[in-house]
Amino acid sequence: MNELLGKKALVTGGSRGIGAATSIALAEGGADVAFTYKSSADAAAKVVKEIEALGRRAFALEVDAADAVAVADGVQGAADRLGGLDILVNNAGVGAIAPITELTLADVDRVLAINVRGAYAAAQAAVPRLSDGGRVIHLGSCAAGRVTSPGMTLYAMSKAALVGFSKGLARELGARGITSNVVQPGPIDTDMNPADGPFAQAQIGALALDRFGTPAEVAAAVTYLAGPAAAYITGTELTIDGGHLA
Taking the C-alpha atoms of residue 93 and residue 98, their distance in angstroms, rounded to an integer, is: 17
Q: 185: which strand partners?
A: 240
Kindly state the greatest CA–CA separation across the chain. 51
- 120 flagged as catalytic: no
Angle at 64 between CA 62 and CA 67, to 5 degrees: 135
Chain centre to alpha carbon of residue 204: 22
CA atoms within 13 A on the CB side of 68: 14
Taking the C-alpha atoms of residue 89 and residue 135, their distance in angstroms, rounded to an integer, is: 8
Select which of 37, 120, 155, 232 is catalytic: 155
Do residues 134 and 227 lie in contact, with contact meaning Cβ atoms separated by under 8 Å? Answer: no
Give catalytic residue positions: 155
